[in-house]
Amino acid sequence: MSKICQITGKKVITGNKVSHSNRKTKRTFEPNLQTKRFFVPELQEWVMLKISAAGIRIINKNGVYAALMSAEAKGHLYRS
């Protein structure tokens, strides 16, 4: 599975590592992904999501079902 948050859509981006001598080499910035299980009361089932820390905050704020519906509408949610 790729390194993409299923709620926010955050993914790996690239940039430069800059040394003290200002030499630049390519590097990657990876999102803070966690694999977590959530119980969805509306569906009466557990779902396992690979989400970022920001995605966990969205679920805490809006609820897991609302976050899933929003992510599916935006095209971030994919099912294996």
Residue 33 · residue 51 · CB < 8 Å: yes
pLDDT digits (tens, 9 = 90+) for 23-41: 999 999 999 999 999 999 9
- Least confident piece of the model among 36-40, 50-54, 76-80: 76-80
The full set of domain ranges for the chain reads 13-74
Instruction: Please report the pLDDT score of residue 14 as a whole number.
Output: 97
CA–CA gap between residue 44 and residue 25 (Å, rounded): 49
* Closest to 67 measured CA to CA, from 24, 2, 5: 5
**Number of other CB atoms surrounding residue 70 within 10 Å:** 15
User: Which CATH architecture best describes the domain 13-74?
Assistant: Roll (2.30)
Residue 50 has pLDDT above 90, yes or no: yes
3-class SS at 2? coil
